[in-house]
Amino acid sequence: MSYQVLARKWRPRSFPEMVGQEHVLRALINALDNDRLHHAFLFTGTRGVGKTTIARILAKSLNCEQGMSSHPCGTCSACREIDEGRFVDLIEVDAASRTKVEDTREILDNVQYAPSRGRYKVYLIDEVHMLSNHSFNALLKTLEEPPPHVKFLLATTDPQKLPVTILSRCLQFNLKRLPLEQIRGHLQHILDQEGIRAEAAAVSEIARAADGSMRDALSLLDQAIAHGGGVLETAGVRAMLGTIDRTRVIALLRALAAGEPAGLLAEAAALAELSPDYGGVLNELNSALTRIALAQALPDGLGEEVEQREALAELAGQISPEDVQLYYQIGLTGRRDLPLAPEPRGGFEMILLRMLTFRPAGGAGQGATKPAAARPAAAAVAPVNTVAEPAPRTLPAAPAVPTPAAVSAAVPVSAQASGFNWTELAATLPLGGLARQLALNCALLRHDGDSVELVLEPSQRALHNKKWEDALAKALSEHLGRPLRLTIQVGSGSGETPMAAQQRRDQERQAEAQASIEGDANVQSILERFGGRIEPGSVRPLE
């Protein structure tokens, strides 16, 4: 007898034999047991998750000679013929090869006839999304009101391509991708039944490479058995799949945590000797970073079944959560851009160096590593810029401002002795418009009892107006609670006007802000690393 591949040999023949998809099986079993069957079912999901298998088991349940139930006997002629693919009342149609409307009409012409042997005539249309629009239109009326002896079972990997008129006429069941643990457990069960010796890590590699598809997992298992001569060894399976030992991924992460470009590039060079798929390496690196992030966020983020569990837990304490997120994002972006690199190894090394270079300068949160080691290490591998950069422009010197001592010395003694602080008083007077401008641009010349003399800046001569002078005198008298006699003259006074005082304070704050930015160690580090400069006028003091 010829060899039968594992995917066909171990295809489930009843609902209890199915792996996963419990949400779909429960609905179908209840419908069969309670005789509440719809006339059209649509099974959706990625390849190899059991769409066609469930449809065939459903066909057996409908036509079993022992009676319609969720547990077909599997031994009657109808069950055996369905398993062997030769039951006359199960019409399987490959929509990918029969897309024309003529093919659909040919099928529908026979719908009206009663089944030859079974209880129901079952139409199983695989990859139904490949039908043409005319074919869908031809199918609509029959799909909505078929004869009582007909059931339609539709399967597709791309339900978005189906017209909503088709979707509304079917019960839709979305089959999920199978979890890694379910695939691994089923593969181990098959290996035990087949009497094939296998290492647990090798089985895990195959289950991971299957990417949620049980059929892919069984096909890879067949290939691995042939590759290993009847024995599954981890090294052989990794060589067949083109994957790498995860200890090398751990070594890359340790070099990243240490912030050592030399060690990181040495690990990349050792990895290159294995001629790996660098896209797959980045996927493994991101998977490890995901587990590290989970370990940092949750106390039990790393399950007992996780490979390299102790090493990942150790790295979770050495790399800060911010760095983990940064590495992960750079890895995702690099995985997308890797095909654009001149050659894969160079592109992979650039991604690793990018992770190292863009790490926060302080290295916050790095366990036992020295944060300061990251900056000179990154500078050591930075390429030399052969293009002459323009010399940074010299920042203009801050204008000289008078000191408080000098201002105090310039105010007449009579005004100082009286305790009359005109600079603060002028800013608080309830004035507006040009009257306020007059007050702000006058300096105190003399204050003697009820007499106040002010001097107006010559450049503001236009403000010298009797109306605004009277408004200022009235506001000043009301504020002090006694009548005052105000005199204003135009000239160069020796005191400081409130406007000049405000400008001086603004200049002082600006100078302090500029000095604070220029003296900041982090700012200077950024300027040195990227050849930058502080744009004049861009610094603003905080309010």
pLDDT at position 1 over 70? no
Distance CA 348, CA 346 (A): 5
Please choose, from the candidates 500, 403, 491, 479, the residue with its C-alpha nearest in 3D space to the C-alpha of residue 446.
Answer: 491
pLDDT averaged over the chain?
Answer: 82
| pLDDT at residue 395 in the model | 39
Question: Cβ atoms within 10 A of the Cβ of 425, count?
Answer: 15
* % of the chain exceeding 90 in pLDDT: 33
Q: Which two structure tokens, joined as six digits, stand for 323?
A: 């760095």
Whether this model's pTM surpasses 0.85: no
Residue 369's pLDDT is 38
Collapsing DSSP to helix, strand or coil, 451 comes out as strand
The DSSP element (H or E) to which 504 belongs, if any, is: helix 498-519
The dihedral sign for the CA sequence 86, 89, 95, 100: positive
pLDDT at 136 over 60: yes
Antiparallel, parallel or unpaired: β 40-44 and 171-174: parallel
As a three-state string, the secondary structure of 63-131 is HCCCCCCCCCCCCCHHHHHHHHCCCCCEEEEECCCCCCHHHHHHHHCCCCCCCCCCCCEEEEEECHHHC
Instruction: Give the model's pLDDT for residue 419.
Output: 53
What is the torsion angle, in degrees rounded to the nearest 10, for the CA atoms of residue 152, residue 23, residue 129 and residue 48? -110
pLDDT for res 304: 59
DSSP character at residue 320:
-
Spatial distance between the Cα atoms of 345 and 271, rounded to a whole number of angstroms: 10
- pLDDT at site 373: 37
Residue 46 per-residue DSSP state: S
Please report where in the chains the tokens 């861009």 appear, as a residue: 538
Q: With beta carbons less than 8 A apart as the criterion, state whether 177 and 214 touch.
A: no
Size (the chain), residues: 543
Residue 428 near residue 479, CB atoms below 8 Å: yes
541 vs 543: CA distance, rounded Å: 6
| pLDDT reading at 200 higher than 80 | yes
Give pLDDT tens digits for 398-450: 444 344 333 343 444 344 434 567 878 888 888 887 788 888 888 888 887 77
How far apart (Å, rounded) are the C-alpha atoms in residues 236 and 221? 12
pLDDT band at 466 (very low <50, low <70, confident <90, very high): confident
- pLDDT tier at 192 (50, 70, 90 boundaries)? very high
Contact 155, 26 (CB under 8 A): no
Whose CA is closest to 349, among 237, 357, 478?
A: 357
Give the three-state DSSP class for 441: coil
Mean per-residue pLDDT, 89-102: 86
- Over range 387-392, report the average pLDDT: 41
Read off the pLDDT of residues 145-159 as tens digits, 9 standing for 90 and up.
889 999 999 999 999
Contacts of 452 (CB under 8 A, 6+ apart): 420, 444, 446, 476, 484, 485, 486, 487
- How are beta strands 150-156 and 171-174 bridged, if at all? unpaired
Question: Which residue ranges form the domains of the chain, and what is each CATH number?
Answer: 6-174 (3.40.50.300), 180-241 (1.10.8.60), 246-300+308-379 (1.20.272.10), 402-543 (3.30.300.150)
